[in-house]
């Protein structure tokens, strides 16, 4: 990798104060993936870069150095900020937290960068539909899993290869894929004493097909959320997602 990188499309995922006048940035770039940057002096009132270094703003960033933490050398606005309001802002924070938690440093994901940009733009659209929010989040989660090598099987049953039928129900193991739901087998005791893995989510075929096509009804939103959480759990670990907690608090306040 070159020691000096110029004007790369990127977003700030997270920023925090560093020393007296600087910022520590967690950045997601199109060509270089996720990386850490020091923005020296960015908190000074006279620093023009400070106001630009905000989440959800398309940027062109330049940096230099090697190792875990590089030095920011230039900032330009690639476009105006993507305005996220109310619950959409919390959804944006969720996307950022996901990327911070599961992406390794210096691992490029160009398609995921495009999906992230499109997801922010979709969340910023005028529609206030919760369904639109849910579909945007699930599609991003699907792409994230695909990019990391954990893509989900959504179009066929893995036990016999048959296509997914909308009105059938399936147990969906994120690691292997959908199997036709057998209530008698489901009721049987687990053959491995002490085995504590939770059962694979139970989904209607219409939900799997809706995930694949990007169209989910209310039932599909609930089932898809359960499946994607199960699929992401091994990557996220047991530490709670801060953005999920904030979203639940928002829903309670909204009534």
Measured at the CA of 94, the angle between CA 89 and CA 100, to 5 degrees, comes to 130
Over its C-alpha atoms, the chain yields an Rg (Å, rounded) of: 21
Query: Considering 77, 105, 138, which residue would you say is the last residue of a domain?
Result: 77
Same domain for 185 and 112: yes
Same domain for 27 and 140: no
Q: How many CA atoms lie within 13 A of 221 on its CB side?
A: 11
Q: Nearest Cα to 250, choosing from 79, 63, 84, 54?
A: 84
Same domain for 95 and 40: no
Is the pLDDT score of 215 beyond 80? yes
Q: Calculate the average pLDDT of the chain.
A: 89
Sign of the dihedral through C-alpha 235, 238, 244, 246: negative
Mean of the pLDDT values across residues 130-157? 92
Residue 96's domain comprises: 84-255
pLDDT in tens, 104-137: 999 999 999 999 999 999 999 865 566 688 899 9
pLDDT in tens, 71-95: 999 999 999 999 998 889 999 999 9
Mean of the pLDDT values across residues 94-101? 97
Task: Assign residue 20 the CATH number of its domain.
Answer: 2.40.50.140
Query: Considering 21, 49, 77, which residue would you say is the last residue of a domain?
Result: 77
Phi, psi of 105 (to 5 degrees): -70, 145
Is the pLDDT score of 168 beyond 80? yes
Q: Nearest Cα to 135, choosing from 122, 124, 153?
A: 122
Task: Assign residue 188 the CATH number of its domain.
Answer: 1.20.1440.120
**Domain tally, the chain:** 2
Same domain for 204 and 233: yes
Query: Considering 51, 77, 103, which residue would you say is the last residue of a domain?
Result: 77
Same domain for 230 and 154: yes
Same domain for 160 and 222: yes
Q: What is the pTM of this model?
A: 0.88
Question: Euclidean distance between the first and final Cα of the chain, in Å?
Answer: 51
Same domain for 163 and 40: no
Same domain for 253 and 221: yes
What is the per-residue pLDDT for 195? Answer: 42
Same domain for 200 and 98: yes
Q: Nearest Cα to 157, choosing from 142, 145, 143, 173?
A: 173
How far apart are the C-alpha atoms of 79 and 141, rounded to whole Å? 25
Given a contact cutoff of 8 angstroms between Cβ atoms, the answer to whether 56 and 81 are in contact is yes
How far apart are the C-alpha atoms of 35 and 57, rounded to whole Å? 17
Same domain for 235 and 170: yes
User: In the chain, what percentage of residues exceed pLDDT 70?
Assistant: 90
Q: Judging by DSSP bridges, how do beta strands 33-39 and 69-77 pair with one another?
A: parallel
Provide the CA 250 distance to its chain's centre, in angstroms: 19
Q: Which residue has the tokens 């491995």?
A: 192
Is the pLDDT score of 185 beyond 70? no
Given a contact cutoff of 8 angstroms between Cβ atoms, the answer to whether 146 and 173 are in contact is no
Longest dimension (CA), the chain: 70
pLDDT in tens, 33-69: 999 999 999 999 888 888 899 999 999 999 999 888 9
How far apart are the C-alpha atoms of 24 and 67, rounded to whole Å? 15
């Amino acid at each position: 990798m070159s020691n000096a990188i110029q004007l790369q499309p990127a977003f700030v995922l997270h920023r925090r104060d560093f020393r007296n006048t600087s910022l520590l940035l967690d950045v997601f770039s199109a060509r270089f993936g996720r990386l850490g940057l020091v923005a020296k002096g960015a908190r000074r009132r006279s620093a023009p870069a400070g106001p630009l270094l905000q989440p959800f703003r398309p940027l062109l960033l330049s940096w230099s150095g090697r190792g875990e933490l590089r030095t920011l050398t230039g900032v330009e606005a690639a476009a105006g900020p993507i305005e996220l309001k109310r619950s959409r802002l919390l959804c944006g924070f969720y996307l950022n937290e996901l990327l911070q938690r599961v992406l390794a440093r210096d691992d490029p994901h160009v398609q995921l960068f495009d999906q992230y940009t499109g997801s922010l733009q979709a969340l910023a659209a005028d529609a206030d539909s919760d369904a639109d929010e849910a579909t945007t989040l699930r599609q991003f989660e699907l792409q994230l899993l695909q990019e990391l090598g954990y893509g989900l099987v959504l179009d066929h049953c893995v036990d016999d290869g048959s296509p997914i039928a909308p009105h059938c129900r399936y147990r969906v193991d994120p690691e292997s894929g959908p199997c036709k739901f057998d209530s008698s087998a489901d009721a049987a005791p687990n053959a491995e004493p002490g085995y504590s893995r939770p059962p694979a989510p139970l989904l209607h075929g219409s939900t799997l097909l809706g995930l694949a096509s990007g169209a989910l009804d209310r039932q599909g939103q609930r089932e898809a959320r359960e499946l994607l959480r199960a699929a992401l759990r091994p990557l996220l670990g047991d530490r709670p997602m801060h953005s999920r907690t904030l979203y639940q608090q928002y829903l309670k306040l909204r009534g």
